[in-house]
DNA sequence: AAATCTGGTTGATCTACATCAAGTGTTATT
DNA sequence: AATAACACTTGATGTAGATCAACCAGATTT
């Protein structure tokens, strides 16, 4: 269950067997069926989750009921409902499974405790978050700078796996465009060739 | 020189006097005049900088020569040229001063070393980055979800200092709209009242 | 096997915002 | 004091992409 997890962690920090055992105990394994929500209705707890298997998405729903993709996560990636504890937004925040998935979850209080008990995990997450900031910055610039077609082609170049695995309508939302526009863009691209 | 710096660090972690001394030695103080670049032309070193005084901006320049604001930073904030070491972008990345500024800079190699030597700083940055991710996520959703007017009014509500202190044309770029559009939006808002 | 649902395509129309262009007031520069 | 440079405004026009609507194919449910 923790195979992929430790493979990924060990790429950034080296844990002793004892540390590994400590870390393991903070995580709760969970399986999700396609379309199932990560959180049950009314669940107030915030989680950070590592994806061992499958594919998830996080998204919010605006006041008009439209979904906006925030992130996709598959094997080897983390996903969290971080956004939701920022107040002042009249938006719902959800995580659910696009494909059947297996996760390792940790609550935020346990996360804080673990990073104190195992400083190497503190380091692991500092590095992870640092890289994530860069990725988000890049996406932000892309969103403000490029046309819909440029955004799509850049995504297709940098993250081909994403294009293959994720339904077009969700990719459209991730890029901040409508499914119709994405469909036309794709048609246009194939015509060019 | 380090007053504000340690005030901010101590909000998240408590450093001993010895640790403070250690940390201090990794930082290089620097003063910048309005419009001066943080990096000299050809400077390859990447820095992370804490703003003690003044106001900076980071931005990139696309292939059409247009500037796109990435971040603003004033007293108590950090700014970095993180984006630039991602390859595959035909874009220049700059940091410069909007107002005269005083900084504390650390190179990336020193940063890595410091976090290893002073684990509390590792923790400080993990928390800092975690919060930054949430902020960027929020900005990304805003960018994909809302109209130009909504983006501006939301920014004005959540970051009024930013509106007061930063020239309109830069705010426009930060929101991914043109200065002309922002001008019209502001006119429109005052007319409504 | 029929019916419903889901993801994608295509067309017609509409609109928010960009672009181009000219003009104003204020702050630097010589 | 004259002039240039800069931040902002206002108007006229163009366009990328949204919206609305109908349709289709494959998968899922009954």
The answer to whether A104 and A27 are in contact (CB under 8 A) is: yes
β-bridge partners, A149: none
Rounded mean pLDDT of A168-186?
A: 96
pLDDT value for B174? 96
Least confident range from B12-26, B55-69, B76-90: namely B76-90
State whether the beta carbon of B165 lies below 7 angstroms from any atom of strand D: no
Band of residue B43 on the pLDDT scale cut at 50, 70, 90 = low
- Cβ contacts from A onto B, under 8 A: 100
Q: Which of B132, B22, B25 is nearest to B80 (CA)?
A: B132
- pLDDT of A193 strictly over 50: yes
Confidence of residue A86 (pLDDT cuts 50, 70, 90): very low
pLDDT classification of A56: cutoffs 50, 70, 90 = very high
Rounded average pLDDT over A148-170 = 94
Q: What is the mean pLDDT of residues A14-29?
A: 97
Contact A183, A167 (CB under 8 A): no
- If you measure CA to CA, which chain A residue comes closest to B176? A144
Higher pLDDT, B126 or A65: B126
Best mutation target, A95, A121, A122, to test chain B (most B CBs within 10 A): A122
Token representation of residue B42: 């050809």
- Across the range B149-173, mean pLDDT stands at 94
What pLDDT is stored for residue B87 in this prediction? 45
Q: Closest Cα to residue A108, out of A5, A26, A39?
A: A26
Nearest residue to A58 via CA among A48, A73, A44:
A73
% of residues, chain A, pLDDT over 70: 91
φ, ψ for residue B45, nearest 5 deg: -65, 135
C-alpha span between A121 and A112 (Å, rounded) = 10
Residue among A127, A140, A142, A159 with most chain B CBs within 10 A, to mutate:
A140
pLDDT at A41: 55
Residue A60, min C-alpha distance to chain B (Å):
8
C-alpha distances in Å from residue A125, one per residue of A102, A115, A183: 21, 9, 38
ipTM: 0.92
A12 at B interface, C-beta within 8 A = no
- Residues from chain A that touch B136, judged by Cβ atoms under 8 A, are 133, 136-137, 140
Cβ of A180 near strand D (under 7 Å)? The reply is yes
Q: What mean pLDDT is predicted for residues A79-90?
A: 62
**Contacting A residues, span 74-113, partner chain B, CB-CB under 8 Å:** 82-83, 86, 88-89, 91
Question: Who among B86, B137, B140 is closest to A143 (CB)?
Answer: B140
- Residue B180, nucleotide of least CA–C1' distance: D9
- pLDDT one-digit tens code per residue, B84-128: 544 445 567 889 999 999 999 999 899 999 999 999 999 999 999
pLDDT value, residue B1: 83
Cross-chain CB nearest to A122 (options B83, B89, B126): B126
CA–CA gap between residue A110 and residue A75 (Å, rounded): 22
Q: How far is the CA of B179 from the C1' of C15 (A)?
A: 19
> Measured between beta carbons, which residues in chain B are less than 8 angstroms from residue A68?
141, 144-145
Which pLDDT score is estimated for B86?
46
Closest by Cβ to A68, choosing from B82, B126, B144: B144
Residue A106 has pLDDT above 60, yes or no: yes
Cβ B94 vs Cβ B31: under 8 Å: no
For chain A positions 114-133, those within 8 Å of chain B (CB to CB) are 115-116, 119, 122-123, 125-126, 129-130, 132-133
Predicted confidence at residue B39, as pLDDT, reads 74
Name the residue with higher pLDDT: B191 or B13.
B13
B85 close to A130: Cβ distance less than 8 angstroms: no
Burial of A16 (0-12, 13-18, 19+ CB in 10 A): exposed
Nucleotides of D under 7 A from a protein CB: 7-12, 16-21
A63: pLDDT confidence band, cut at 50, 70 and 90? confident
CB A4 within 8 A of CB A76: yes
DSSP H helices in chain B: 3-10, 17-24, 108-117, 119-145, 148-158, 160-165, 168-175, 179-192
Q: Which runs of E-coded beta strand occur in chain A? A: 28-32, 47-61, 67-74, 78-80, 92-107
Distance CA A51, CA A53 (A): 6
CB A123 within 8 A of CB A92: no
- Give the residue from chain A lying closest to B63, CA to CA: A145
What values do phi and psi take at B14, rounded to 5?
-105, 120
Considering just the CA atoms, what is the radius of gyration of chain B in Å?
18
Residues of B in contact with A60 (CB under 8 A): 141
The answer to whether A149 CB is within 7 Å of strand D is yes
Residue A126 confidence class, pLDDT cut points 50, 70, 90: very high
Output the CA–CA distances (angstroms, integers) from residue A83 to A80, A102, B99, B112, in the order listed: 8, 22, 32, 28
- pLDDT band at B63; cut points 50, 70, 90: confident
pLDDT above 50 (res B17): yes
CA nearest neighbour of A151 among A179, A182, A193:
A182
The confidence band for B60, taking pLDDT boundaries of 50, 70 and 90, is confident
Q: What integer best gives the mean pLDDT of chain A?
A: 90
pLDDT at A81: 79
User: Nearest nt (C1') to A175 (CA)?
Assistant: D17
Q: Which residues contact A161 (CB under 8 A, 6 or more apart)?
A: A74
Q: How many residues does the structure list for chain A? A: 193
CA-based radius of gyration for chain A: 18
């Amino acid at each position: 269950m923790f195979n992929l997890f430790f493979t990924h962690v060990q790429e950034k920090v080296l844990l002793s067997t004892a540390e590994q055992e400590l870390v393991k105990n903070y995580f709760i394994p969970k399986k999700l069926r396609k379309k199932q929500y990560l959180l049950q209705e009314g669940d107030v707890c915030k989680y950070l989750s590592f994806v061992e298997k499958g594919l998830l998405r996080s998204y919010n729903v605006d006041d008009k009921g439209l979904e906006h993709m925030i992130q996709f996560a598959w094997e080897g990636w983390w996903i969290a409902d971080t956004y939701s504890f920022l107040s002042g937004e009249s938006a719902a925040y959800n995580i659910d499974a696009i494909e059947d998935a297996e996760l390792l979850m940790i609550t935020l209080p346990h996360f804080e405790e673990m990073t104190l008990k195992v400083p190497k995990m503190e380091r692991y997450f500092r590095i992870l978050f640092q890289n994530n900031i860069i990725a988000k910055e890049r996406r932000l610039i892309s969103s403000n700078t490029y046309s819909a077609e440029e955004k799509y082609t850049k995504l297709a170049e940098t993250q081909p796996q994403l294009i293959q695995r994720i339904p077009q309508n969700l990719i459209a939302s991730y890029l901040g465009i409508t499914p119709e526009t994405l469909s036309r863009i794709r048609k246009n691209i194939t015509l060019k060739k």
